[in-house]
Amino acid sequence: MILSLCMLVLSGCATINSDIHINRDGSGTWDATVKSQAEPIEKKVITEVLAKYPMPEYTIKAINNEGKAIKVDDNDTAEYNTWSIASEFKNIDEFTLVRNAMTLQDKNKNLAPALEKTTSGTYIVDLGTSLGNTTVSVSGTIDKVSVQSGTLKNDNTITFSQNERMRFIFKPDHSWFFYIGIGIGIVVVVGGGYIFYLRRKYYGDAA
């Protein structure tokens, strides 16, 4: 059962299309669509594969013929061509577990982390080989020079086709606290200067 989905994906008879968002702190979300072009599959086929990976909690739903996501019980043997998976990761370690699951990586190998922070403060993203169409968006700016494959849609979003290597570098943006701090600093400087101006105006050089 575990091999059935893997064989479908590796043979090109099934794809795992993913939408990933990476926050500045290494947390984020993974939304995937597993689609079989060969034959419908039941929920157990997917859950058995994901059970191999100690990834964060996830939800899985079937996509019916009308394109609607429906809940399927674990013991339900109904088969569907398309399934959706949604998961959130809280840190880099959990993101690496999600990466291993979405690309069916061999977790026994010494794999590089999905996200690695450099001394300059940038992040190296290494997601392996795409098993379908994958879109990755980041809270920051992607280094154009680091993009060796995939298509850069804008400064913070890149798309990869099936079998493309997903690796690039991005610089995380600042949090709201950073901008609030700058704003407060500006107010203090401008306010202090205005008060000094008023004192000079009314009291002269003695102020």
Question: What sign results for the dihedral spanned by CA atoms 32, 33, 36, 39?
Answer: positive
pLDDT in tens, 147-197: 999 999 999 999 999 999 999 999 999 655 444 544 455 555 555 555 665
pLDDT value at residue 199: 65
Cβ-Cβ contacts under 8 Å for 130 (sequence gap 6 or more): 18, 103, 160, 161, 162, 163, 164, 165, 166
pLDDT in tens, 120-139: 999 999 999 999 999 999 99
pLDDT value at residue 3: 58
What pTM does this model have?
0.80
pLDDT in tens, 1-17: 545 677 777 667 889 99
Q: Which long-range contacts (CB under 8 A, 24 or more apart) does 58-62 make?
A: 58/85, 58/86, 58/87, 59/85, 59/86, 59/87, 60/84, 60/85, 60/86
